[in-house]
Amino acid sequence: MLLMLTTTLVSGQITRNRVFSLPGSDEKKRIEVIDKILISKKDSAELYVERGQLVMTLNVNEPSQQFVKRTNAQALSDIDRGISLRPAKPEFYKIKADYFFYVHDDFPSAIQNMSKAIQLDSTNCAFYQRRAMLYFKNNDKDSACKDWNKCAVLNCKEAEGCVSFVNDYCK
């Protein structure tokens, strides 16, 4: 994906950082290209999800100038279409969780989608780390600590951050 949505936990508070593009990406042009491809490839789950994420990201970045009159509801519709085409793709549920977190502050729905991603891939540390952040923001410290501990046990690149959260918040 071309975009990253970031969260930061500082002093017990999760903040959403502005969405940013990786160098050289042009989201609006990418959406136009995806629109053209989807005319003939209506079964491309990845393209629907990517377009949904791009639209969501542009709307979060520039809320007063919704891109080509596309709404966040349309972004969610694209993400859901991708999920319906490839329901076993855990990354799609992570993107849907981002939608609920960044667009609506809907922590229960974001947690539900991260849980589905974890159900499909229980070895992905980043999924546990993201769900832990959501639990923490939703004032469920016990569940957050369980996920941070699981992330630490899986010992992946995110594990160092998880161990730090365990040490800071799970005593």
Give 100-125 as a DSSP string. HHHHH--HHHHHHHHHHHHHH-TT-H
Q: Where in the chain is the domain with CATH 1.25.40.10?
A: 3-121
- Rounded to an integer, what distance in angstroms lies between the CA atom of residue 131 and that of residue 33? 32
Answer yes or no: is pLDDT of 25 > 60.
no
Cα atoms in the Cβ-side hemisphere of radius 13 Å centred on 84: 9
Q: What would the pLDDT profile of 62-114 be if each residue is shown by its tens digit?
A: 665 555 457 888 999 999 999 999 999 999 999 999 999 988 899 999 999 99
Q: Mapping DSSP to helix (H, G, I), strand (E, B) and coil, where does residue 13 land? A: strand
Q: Which CATH class is domain 3-121?
A: mainly alpha
Q: What would the pLDDT profile of 51-68 be if each residue is shown by its tens digit?
A: 999 988 877 776 655 554
